[in-house]
Amino acid sequence: MGTRHGESRRIALAGVFGALSLTFMLVGGVLPLATFAAPAIAGILIMPVAVEFGRKTGWLLYAAIGLLSLLLVSDREMSLIFLFFFGFYPLLKTNLERLHSRAARFLAKFAVFNLCIAGAYALIVLVFPIPAVAGEFAGMSLGFAGVLLLLGNFTFAIYDAAVARLVALYCGRLRPRLMKLH
């Protein structure tokens, strides 16, 4: 019976992390400056579930939060940014870290970031136009768009390092404390 009790607590913990992730997405839909911060935090909150139950469960939680975000979050741009990058990147990062060459890891990470963000905004502007975002891009010079992409890449480098440190913090400090509770 102790095993089932422990498993129930771990499942409850997964539910809490999933609910927190969705809550950040919902709150981010109300705050105008949270278009990137809320999906970034929501994606990081999926990692403890992947640590506890495996990456398949992490991917399932990512899909559930992504679908619920599309249905419930008022900011479509934010939901698509979660779906196209921030929701799955922390899960994918573990695969990218296995590349032996530091240069290959660097190139792969930045290629994923740039392709995913470009794909998300192509959808946002061309396929499922969000008028406010399409208007911003229409009035933007190519040079300014390049500067934004450069800033995005710089911010991504910080995010990538933060994901690694937060996962290490969870595994090294938070997880042992949470597991002691049962």
User: Which band of pLDDT confidence, cut at 50, 70 and 90, is reported for residue 33?
Assistant: confident
Instruction: Count the Cβ atoms, other than its own, within 10 Å of residue 54.
Output: 11
Whole-number Å distance between alpha carbons of 77 and 141: 21
Quick one: pLDDT at residue 1? 44
Helices (H), the chain: 2-28, 37-44, 47-53, 55-72, 76-81, 89-96, 102-122, 131-138, 142-169, 175-180
Per-residue pLDDT tens digits for 46-92: 999 999 889 999 999 999 999 999 999 988 889 999 999 999 999 99
Per-residue pLDDT tens digits for 81-139: 999 999 999 999 999 999 999 999 999 999 999 999 999 988 888 887 888 887 877 78
Full-model pTM: 0.86
Whole-number Å distance between alpha carbons of 106 and 101: 9
